[in-house]
């Protein structure tokens, strides 16, 4: 039998070191700056209210409430005895009903009238006093309680700690 020629051996391929794949460069996360914590204000900032000289023309204007019902007419303004800024808008409710006061900052001017977001019946249930009468701390705290001004907030906070008989607001024309 004839011999088969020997199979030629293929030369072994030289193993070359595998090319290293470059891994994508890892980005170091940027150092985060700690967020500065803002301290919450102890009391919300007060809105800028008109000055007394800017609201003198209010006297005699009609004040409308919820449902455009007339609450009364401005009989005057009461100011703080220490800084002279308005604190109360005094309303004349009628010839028999007398006068009361609503917080100055709760009154807004527009369309030749003044507006306050109160029901007429609620205004008529408020404590009464004469427009020419000075108010003591106790008088003002009674008004604050009626209008829902919490203890130690707003006007209630301004007069907290004062003697109950101490005069804290006076008519603006005094």
Q: How many domains does the chain have?
A: 1
Which structural domain range is residue 148 located in? Answer: 55-171
pLDDT in tens, 14-33: 555 555 555 555 666 555 66
In a domain, 77, yes or no: yes
In a domain, 130, yes or no: yes
**Rounded CA separation 118/22 (Å):** 75
In a domain, 47, yes or no: no
**Rounded CA separation 44/125 (Å):** 29
**pLDDT at residue 5 greater than cutoff 60:** no
pLDDT-based confidence at residue 91 (cuts at 50, 70, 90) = very high
**pLDDT at residue 34 greater than cutoff 90:** no
Among the listed residues 83, 125, 121, the one whose alpha carbon sits nearest the alpha carbon of residue 104? 83
Q: CATH number of the domain at 64, please.
A: 3.90.50.10
**Rounded CA separation 31/100 (Å):** 62
**pLDDT at residue 167 greater than cutoff 70:** yes
**pLDDT at residue 151 greater than cutoff 70:** yes
């Amino acid at each position: 039998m004839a011999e088969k020629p020997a199979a030629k051996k293929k030369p072994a391929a030289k193993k070359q070191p595998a090319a290293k794949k470059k891994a994508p460069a890892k980005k170091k996360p940027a150092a985060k700056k700690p967020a500065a914590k803002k301290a919450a204000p102890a009391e919300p900032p007060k809105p800028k209210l008109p000055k007394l000289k800017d609201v003198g023309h209010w006297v005699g204007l009609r004040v409308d409430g919820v449902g455009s019902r007339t609450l009364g007419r401005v009989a005057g303004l009461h100011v703080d005895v220490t800084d002279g800024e308005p604190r109360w808008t005094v309303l004349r409710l009628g010839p028999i009903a007398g006068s009361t006061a609503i917080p100055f900052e709760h009154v807004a001017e527009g369309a030749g009238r003044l507006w306050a977001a109160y029901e007429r019946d609620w205004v008529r249930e408020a404590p009464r006093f004469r427009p020419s009468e000075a108010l003591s701390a106790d008088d003002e705290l009674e008004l604050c309680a009626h209008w829902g001004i919490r203890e130690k907030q707003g006007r209630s906070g301004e007069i907290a700690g004062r003697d109950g008989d101490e005069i804290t607001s006076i008519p603006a024309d005094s």
